[in-house]
Chain A
């Protein structure tokens, strides 16, 4: 008996670090951030509460509104293009091609690199004076223009381009794993029925791999809300505020503008956005799992 309780003590000991991380670093920080967001703190936390005043300020602030609308445009385009492009790549990879391993390596390597690297490479490739624009003009097309990175109305699409370059290989890998799991009998059946392959993929196969597509969508959506490194490296939020995003707004108000209550209100809004993405997903999954079980 004594030995048993000794072993239990070791279990508690082993669980100590993770308890500290969970309770202090994760739950504790979140609560603290929320509490500060309810105060009027500037440089240091002061616990004078004015409740949701910072949220009111935040929602009226043009800089925040621009950041949020940029994020929505960026997010919708990025997710849609990644899913479509990733799905097409996965289908093409599924045609018993030669060199599959090589193509897989090429499509996925950007995902192994830092967002900072991705941002800096595309900044250079899209540099109007030296990059693609200059190269095409050098071929004799003197009026060719591709200067989105310095156009306030176009810079957000540059962000989408670089993010798709980095992330679409991941979608391909996830969806390809899904395609490989599709029952061979299904393919036989569609062949006997004489249904064209290009119709089978969107109308029959896509619903089967929907859970994989949903996983990919959640991963992409969460990375959108987190977007920070790529923006800093690629555009620095510019030109003007054309590519500012909420994560960058929060960081600047925390460390440069010393406006911590406002910054933390922004961080809590980001948390709310993630919860708004995850909760419907969670229930949709439970619902479909129940349906499958019934």
Chain B
């Protein structure tokens, strides 16, 4: 009897812990939402936890089209577009390059494979500050500093370590006999890649798309340094809007802007479910 009631108590303890932990994780998100739906007058007099008395999307509209950074008042929409223009080509290119390189490393044993692999693994851990200044100089030399192509190139460069490791590990797990048979049939490098390897790749391609698109969208440092003022991604613009010291702070607009910036990776996260966890696991393997 006592053992049974102990068991019930233990169950209650487990759920109590989980619910309290969930409340800790959800609280900031809840506060963000309710703040973004209030007017500034209401924010001044009510608790941050209070439900808005007359929810309004005004702050969202301001955040999207007319929030100010310094003298420019075009809202976050510009940053959203820039982030899309950066994310799409950078994701596609880094995955393509990672897949081809991983394929070459796994099946063709090119010379210097060990060097490439070693450098990429180490580079995955090195703080970006180590590379930044020389890369600024190199990109200025070729006229790509402060340009869309430049920031895309930077994302492709720093996507390489994780992408190559991801694809190499996946391809190393495919049966080698398939590849040998294709070689005997006279398949060349690209033919085997396109006809045999790519059709076997969708699971790892999905993981790669999730990893790269969220990483690139969430980047702040590279966007700040390399994109230039015309191509600032959403994260940089968001920080400028919220942390700009001019004028009175519009907390409702700030929170609406923050949710808007978080929306794309959150949607990717919620839609991908277990795939996201798998991507994290794949990323963690590099440790």
Q: A15 contacts which chain B residues (CB < 8 A)?
A: 101, 104, 110, 116
Which 7 pairs, one residue from A and one from B, show the smallest C-beta to C-beta distance? A114-B218, A112-B269, A10-B189, A29-B134, A32-B134, A135-B47, A267-B129
Q: Which residue of A lies closest to B32 (CB)?
A: A121
CB distance from A251 to the nearest CB of B (A): 7
Chain A CB within 8 A of B242 CB: yes
CA distance A29 to B128 in the complex (A): 11
Contact with A along B134-165 (1 / 0, CB 8 A): 11011000000000000000001100100010
Considering only residues 259-289 of chain A, those with a C-beta below 8 Å from chain B are 260, 263-264, 266-268, 270-271, 274, 278
In the complex formed, the residue of B with least CB distance to A7 is B188
- Verify if A250 is at the interface (C-beta below 8 Å from B): yes
* Inter-chain contacts of B27 with A (CB < 8 A): 125
Contacting residues, chain A, for B110 (C-beta < 8 A): 11-12, 15
Beyond the given pairs A255-B225, A267-B129, A267-B133, 19 more chain A to chain B contacts, judged by CB atoms under 8 angstroms and listed by A's residue number, are A11-B108, A17-B97, A18-B101, A25-B131, A88-B17, A89-B21, A97-B14, A107-B22, A107-B25, A114-B261, A116-B238, A120-B258, A125-B48, A130-B43, A134-B47, A232-B220, A233-B243, A267-B132, A270-B127
- Of B131, B133, B262, most buried by chain A (CB within 10 Å of CB) is B133
Of the candidates B24, B104, B265, the one whose C-beta lies within 8 Å of that of A165 is B24
Measured CB to CB, the closest approach of chain A to B252, in angstroms, equals 10
Cβ-defined contact, B14 with A233, below 8 A: no
| Contact status B238-A11, CB under 8 Å | no
Which of A158-181 touch B at CB < 8 Å?
165, 169-170, 173-174, 177
Chain B residues with Cβ below 8 Å from A219 are 284, 287
Complex CA gap A29/B135 in Å reads 7
* A149 proximal to B (CB < 8 A): no
Which residues does chain B contribute within 8 Å of A278, judged by CB atoms? 122, 125
- A174 and B265 contact, CB distance less than 8 A: no
Question: B284 — which chain A residues lie within 8 A by C-beta?
Answer: 174, 215-216, 219
Give the interface SS of chain B, mostly helix, strand, loop or mixed: helix
Q: A24-B138, A112-B268, A134-B48 are in contact. Are A92 and B14 (CB under 8 A)?
A: yes
B9 at the interface (CB under 8 A from A): no
Known A-B contacts A32-B134, A267-B127, A271-B126; the reply to A92 vs B97 at CB < 8 A is no
A106 touching B25 in the complex, CB below 8 Å, given contacts A30-B131, A120-B254, A267-B129: yes
Whether A236 and B130, one on each chain, are in contact in the complex, defined by CB atoms closer than 8 angstroms, is no
* Minimal beta-carbon separation of A37 from chain B (angstroms): 10
Complex alpha-carbon distance, A177 and B284, angstroms: 12
Contact of A95 among B14, B24, B28 (CB under 8 A): B14
Contact call B217/A114, Cβ cutoff below 8 A: yes
Give complex CA distance A3, B191 in Å.
13
Interchain nearest-CB distance for B246 vs A (Å): 15
Name A44's closest neighbour in chain B (CB-CB). Answer: B137
Docked CA distance A134–B50 (Å): 12
Whether the Cβ atoms of A22 and B190 lie closer than 8 Å is no
Q: Pick the contact of B261 from A18, A26, A116, A270 — CB < 8 Å?
A: A116
Residue interface mask A173-195, B partner, CB < 8 A = 1: 11001000000000000000000
Chain A residues with CB under 8 A of B287: 214-215, 218-219
Q: When each residue 177-191 of chain B gets 1 if its CB lies under 8 Å from chain A and 0 otherwise, what string results?
A: 000000000101110
B residues in contact (CB < 8 Å) with A: 11, 14-15, 17-18, 21-22, 24-29, 31-32, 35, 43-44, 47-49, 97, 100-101, 104, 108, 110, 112, 115-116, 119-120, 122-123, 125-135, 137-138, 156-157, 160, 164, 186, 188-190, 214, 217-221, 225, 235, 238-239, 242-243, 251, 254-255, 258, 261-262, 265-266, 268-270, 273, 276-277, 280-281, 284-285, 287
- A115 CB to closest chain B CB (Å) equals 7
Q: Is the CB of B281 within 8 A of A174?
A: yes
Q: How far is the CA of A131 from the CA of B22 in the complex (A)?
A: 20
**What is the distance, in angstroms, from B251's C-beta to the closest C-beta of chain A?**
6
**Contacts A30-B131, A165-B24, A232-B220 hold; do A14 and B239 have CB atoms under 8 A apart?**
no
User: Are A120 and B239 touching (Cβ within 8 A)?
Assistant: yes
A105 within 8 A of B: yes
Complex-state Cα separation, A22 to B261, whole angstroms: 32
**Residues of A96-120 whose CB lies within 8 A of B:** 97, 101, 103-117, 120
Which one of A56-64, A73-81, A221-229 contacts B? A221-229
Offer 10 A-B interface pairs, CB within 8 angstroms, sorted by A: A19-B116, A32-B134, A114-B262, A120-B238, A124-B251, A130-B44, A165-B28, A169-B25, A170-B280, A174-B281
Q: Which residue of B lies closest to A172 (CB)?
A: B21
B130 in complex: contacting residue of A33, A93, A116, A122, CB < 8 Å = A33
CA–CA, A117 to B49, complex, Å?
19
Could you tell me the distance in whole angstroms from the C-beta of B188 to the nearest C-beta in chain A?
Answer: 5
B28 touches A228 (CB 8 A): no
Closest to A169 in B: B25
A225 touches B101 (CB 8 A): no
Residues of A within 8 A of B186 (CB): 3
Docked Cα-Cα span, A209 to B282, in Å, equals 17
| Contact partners of A117 in chain B: CB under 8 A | 218, 235, 238, 258, 261-262
Asked if B130 and A19 make an inter-chain contact with CB atoms under 8 angstroms apart, the answer reads no
CA distance A215 to B283 in the complex (A): 11
A247 at the interface (CB under 8 A from B): yes
